[in-house]
């Protein structure tokens, strides 16, 4: 059977086998799905035979009028997640060992607002729930770093990933391994 792009194409599962997440307007959510699943849900990609590598994409064109910027796709849920953890853990790594009251107050607010504005809505809900049950610990760098590491491990658990040993948080995000 050969069909064109169906405007009512709203699959429940993506190519990865994971559930497709939709926005309130019924469109597939780009920040909530992997790029592959997003393209599949928007009817731009048919399921591929296993032997075909979906990572092999043609070289991106330049955007109109630009010499250097290519037509790069907006980040999917995985790129967004990696980027955000990188920023958050590094913020903890640079947080003062003895923060002032203003710094504590700002960090508390920053984490709370982060849980409201994070672009993947279902990830944001989980983070907000975590924050409600585990208020950000902002009394010292180590406290904040370990609190974030625990938050990350909650997500790791949900994704079936290994738990990260939080005793290593500072080596991973501040000191490096050879110092």
Residues that bind a copy of itself (CB under 8 A): 30-31, 42, 44, 61, 63-69, 71-75, 79-80, 82-84, 86-87, 90-91, 93-95, 103, 106-107, 109-110, 113-114, 116-119, 121, 161-162, 164-165, 168, 171-179
Distance set, CA 172 to CA 32, 82, 94, 107, 167 (Å): 26, 14, 13, 21, 10
Least CB distance to a copy of itself at residue 85 (A) = 9
Q: Check: CB of residue 89 under 8 Å from CB of residue 168.
A: no
Least CB distance to a copy of itself at residue 178 (A) = 7
Residue 19: helix, strand or coil by DSSP? strand
Residue 22 or 50 having the CB closest to a copy of itself: 22
Q: Which DSSP string corresponds to 34-77?
A: -HHHHHHHTTS-PPPPTTS-TT--PPPPBPTT-SS-B-PPPP-H
Residue 19 or 42 having the CB closest to a copy of itself: 42
Q: Check: CB of residue 29 under 8 Å from CB of residue 22.
A: yes
28, β-bridge pairs: 22
Least CB distance to a copy of itself at residue 167 (A) = 9
Phi, psi (rounded to 5 degrees) for 57: -120, 155
**Cβ contacts of 11 within 8 Å, gap of 6 or more:** 20, 40, 41
Residue 15 or 145 having the CB closest to a copy of itself: 145
Least CB distance to a copy of itself at residue 173 (A) = 5
Residue 18 or 116 having the CB closest to a copy of itself: 116
Residue 15 or 80 having the CB closest to a copy of itself: 80
Least CB distance to a copy of itself at residue 113 (A) = 5
């Amino acid at each position: 059977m050969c069909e064109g792009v169906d405007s009512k194409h709203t699959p429940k599962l993506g190519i990865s086998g994971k559930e497709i997440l939709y926005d309130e307007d019924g469109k597939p959510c780009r920040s909530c799905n992997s790029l592959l699943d997003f393209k599949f849900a928007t009817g731009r990609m048919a399921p591929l035979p296993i032997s075909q590598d979906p990572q092999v994409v043609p070289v991106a064109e330049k955007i109109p009028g630009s010499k250097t910027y290519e037509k790069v796709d907006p980040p999917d849920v995985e790129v967004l997640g990696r980027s955000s953890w990188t920023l958050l853990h590094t913020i903890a790594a640079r947080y003062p060992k003895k923060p002032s009251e203003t710094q504590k107050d700002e960090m508390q607010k920053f984490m709370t607002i982060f849980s409201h504005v994070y672009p993947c809505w279902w990830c944001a809900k989980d983070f907000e729930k975590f924050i409600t049950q585990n208020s950000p610990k902002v009394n010292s760098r180590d406290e904040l770093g370990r609190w974030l590491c625990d938050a990350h491990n909650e997500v790791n658990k949900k994704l079936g990933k290994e738990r990260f040993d939080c005793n290593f948080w500072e080596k991973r995000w501040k000191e490096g391994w050879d110092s």
